[in-house]
Amino acid sequence: MSPSWLRAIVVFATVLSLGMGAGAAQADTSLRGVNISARDGAALVASVFVPDTPGPRPGVIFITSWAFPNIEYLLQAQEFAEAGYVVLLYTPRGFYGSGGTIDMGGPKDISDVSVVIDWLLTNTPTDPARIGVGGISYGAGLSLLGAAFDARIRAVASMSGWTDLPSSMLGNQTRHVRGGVLAFTAALTGRPSPEMQEMLRHFFNNEDIPAVVSFMEARSPARYLDRINTNRPAIFMANAYNDRVFAPNPIADFFTQLRGPKRLELRPGGHGTAETPGLIGQPEDLWRNVHRWFDHFLQGMNTSITAEDPVQIQPRNQGGYETYPTWSAIATGSTHYFLGQVERPSGEGALVSSAWTGWRWPIVTGVDTVASEVFMGEAQPVSIAAVNRRNAGVWQSDVLESALRLRGAAHLHVTIAPGSSGPTTVIAYLYDTDTLGMGHLVTHVPFTIPEAVAGWIYPVDTDFFVTAYDVPKGNRLTLVLDTVDPLYVDMEDRSTELTFVSPPGDPSYVSLPRR
C-alpha cells in the first residue's frame, strides 16, 4: 500500500471519528460545499469556511494531494477559519467529483488556481491583497505553479511538493516505480487525460523519453522561476530526506534561487509523513509553522518567523533543529574517501584517504541484494556482511575516530565497464555501519547509462540525495554499489557482467559535505 493511501485511511478515519461535516464547524464560522466553474466549464468541487466576523479577511486556498478529496484539510481549515481566515478547499480537476480530466499540473490546472481565486473574491469577504495558497504533494506543486502565473498569491505553503518533475521521475536517466503508483491511483480515483495516459505509456515502455521530459518540464515550477521571482510571493517549503516521490535535491536548488521571502524545512521521514499528525488534529511543528507563515504575511501579525534563519533542518538521527542563513551554509567542509582495491576472498574494498587506481571489480547484474531501498519512511538496518559480493561492490572505511556530520548532498565519482550493450543501471548506497556490522542507510542514488556499449568505460559523476546525518564515532562508513532496487524500473538484465574500474589518473571517490 502506498504512503498516500496509508495517509488517506488515517485522515478519513480521524475525520469520521470526530463526526466532522458541514454542520460541525464552530459557532464563529460557517462551512458550505460549492462547485466552481472552470474556464472550460469543468466543475471543481470545493468547500469554503467563512468567518462570521465582518470586514475583509485574509484568504487561504488549500489544494488537495494526488487522489485525495478536499476532506483532507478539514481540520486544518477549521483552525484557520477560527483564526479569522476565509478558507477554501478544492479537489483538482479529474479527481473524484471535480469535472474534466487529470491535467497533472498542466495549463488547465494552473488556470483553475486563478479561477478559484476569482470565485473567492467574488463570493466571500476575502481581501484581494491577502491571499495564500498551500497544499501537500500534488497540492504543493499546483500552489507553486499558481504563484508563477497569478500575482495575487502573496504567500505559499508547499509541503512534500515538487519543483523539477523530470528530476523526480527520471533523475539520472533512471525511471522511478512511483510512476506506476501515480497511474494506479489516478485510474482508481479519477479520470486521467489522454495526454497523461500517453505520457505514462511512453514512460513505462521507455520510449519517446524526450516527449515525456517535455511534458514534465512544462509542469515544473522550476521552469517558471523567473515568473515566481517577479511576483515575489512569500514561499514556505517543507520536505523529508527520505521522500522517494520528490527527493529534496531539486527542492534545495529551487529554494536557493528564490528572491522573495522564503523558508525551507527538512525533516526525517517519507513522502507526506511529517504533515499527517497535523491533518488529524495532533500538534506538530510543521503545521504550526505554516500557521505562523500565513499569519505573518497575510494577517500582518508579528509571529517572529522571519526573524529566524530561513533554513531549518532536523538531522535524521537526533532531535532538535539546526538553523542556517542559507542552504550553502549547512556544510563547512568536505571529506574525500577514495575507493581502494577490492580484496579476495573478502570481496570488500577500503575507503581510504589516498587515491588508488588500477583496480577492477566485476559483479553479476540483475540480482537484488539486501541493500535495496524502501518506498516509505526510514529504511531498516541491514547486515553489511549479508550483501552478496558477487552482485555488488562494497567498500568500508576504518573505524571513525570522530563523528562524521554529513550535511547536504554527497558526491560519487566512479568508472563503469558494462559487460554488454544496452542500458546500464547502478544504485549507490551510503551506510552508517555500527560495531555489530549493521548498516543504517544514510542516503542513496540511482544512475543509468542509457547507451552503454560493451568494452567501453564510462566515468560517472552524480550527487546522492540530500541528507543530514551524523555517523557516530566508532562506526564505519560503507559504500555499496549494486544494480537492482524495487524503487526503480530500470535495471540490468540477469547474468550480465558489469565491472567497476579505477583507471590510472582517474581514481574513484566519494566526497562528503560535512560540518
Question: DSSP letter string over 228-269?
Answer: HHHH--EEEEEEETT-SSS-HHHHHHHHHH--SSEEEEEESS
DSSP state of 295: I
Q: Which of 329, 358, 383 is the last residue of a domain?
A: 329
SS3 178: helix
> Residue 453 has what pLDDT?
87
Q: Are 362 and 497 in contact (CB under 8 A)?
A: yes
In this structure, are 223 and 339 located in the same domain?
no
Give the pairing type, strands 86-90 and 153-159: unpaired
CATH number at residue 303: 3.40.50.1820
SS3 144: helix
In this structure, are 226 and 357 located in the same domain?
no
In this structure, are 124 and 224 located in the same domain?
yes
Which residue type occupies 87? V
Q: Which domain holds residue 505?
A: 333-514
In this structure, are 413 and 325 located in the same domain?
no
In this structure, are 301 and 262 located in the same domain?
yes
In this structure, are 288 and 350 located in the same domain?
no
- E strands, 306-463, are 311-313, 322-324, 333-339, 349-352, 360-364, 382-383, 393-396, 404-408, 411-418, 424-433, 438-449, 458-463
Residue pointed to by grid coordinates 529534496: 248
Count: domains in the chain: 2
Q: In whole angstroms, what is the distance from residue 101 CA to residue 94 CA?
A: 4
Q: What are phi and psi of 395, to 5 degrees?
A: -135, 135
From residue 503, how far is each of 348, 390, 428, 441, 507 by CA, in Å? 18, 21, 19, 29, 7
> In the structure grid, which three cell numbers stand for residue 431, read together?
551506510
Q: Are 383 and 439 in contact (CB under 8 A)?
A: yes
Q: Which of 329, 345, 369 is the last residue of a domain?
A: 329
Q: In whole angstroms, what is the distance from residue 20 CA to residue 134 CA?
A: 22
In this structure, are 19 and 67 located in the same domain?
yes
> Residue 374 has what pLDDT?
61
In this structure, are 321 and 340 located in the same domain?
no
3-class secondary structure per residue, 61-95: EEECCCCCCHHHHHHHHHHHHHCCCEEEEECCCCE
Give the pairing type, strands 86-90 and 57-63: parallel
From residue 104, how far is each of 3, 47, 91, 138, 198 by CA, in Å? 19, 22, 13, 8, 13
Q: In whole angstroms, what is the distance from residue 362 CA to residue 141 CA?
A: 42
Going by C-alpha positions, the residue among 57, 44, 273, 230 that lies closest to residue 142 is 44
CATH number at residue 488: 2.60.120.260
In this structure, are 238 and 383 located in the same domain?
no
Going by C-alpha positions, the residue among 438, 446, 433, 445 that lies closest to residue 396 is 433
Q: In whole angstroms, what is the distance from residue 210 CA to residue 390 CA?
A: 35
> In the structure grid, which three cell numbers stand for residue 326, read together?
542559507
> Residue 194 has what pLDDT?
94
First to last CA, the chain: 38
In this structure, are 382 and 310 located in the same domain?
no
The runs of H, that is alpha helices, within 457-507 are none
> Residue 489 has what pLDDT?
83
Q: Are 219 and 199 in contact (CB under 8 A)?
A: no
In this structure, are 36 and 78 located in the same domain?
yes
Q: Which of 264, 295, 329 is the last residue of a domain?
A: 329
In this structure, are 324 and 364 located in the same domain?
no
- C-alpha of 357 from chain center: 36
From residue 332, how far is each of 327, 353, 407, 515 by CA, in Å? 11, 19, 9, 5
Query: Of all helices (H) and strands (E), which one includes residue 479?
Result: strand 476-482
Per-residue pLDDT of the chain (515 residues; tens, 9 = 90+): 344 444 444 444 434 333 333 333 343 568 899 999 999 999 999 999 999 888 899 999 999 999 999 899 999 999 999 999 999 999 999 999 999 999 999 999 999 999 999 999 999 999 999 999 999 999 999 999 999 999 999 999 999 999 999 999 999 999 888 777 888 899 999 999 999 999 999 998 889 999 999 999 999 999 999 999 999 999 999 999 989 889 999 999 999 999 999 999 999 999 999 999 999 989 889 999 999 999 999 999 999 999 999 999 999 988 899 999 999 999 999 999 999 999 988 899 999 999 999 999 999 998 889 987 665 556 789 999 999 999 999 999 999 999 999 999 999 999 999 987 788 899 999 999 999 999 999 999 999 988 888 889 999 999 999 999 999 999 999 999 999 988 888 766 566 889 999 999 999 999 999 99
**CA geometry: angle at 424 spanning 418 and 425, to 5°?**
130
Please state the pTM of the whole predicted model.
Answer: 0.92
> In the structure grid, which three cell numbers stand for residue 210, read together?
524526450
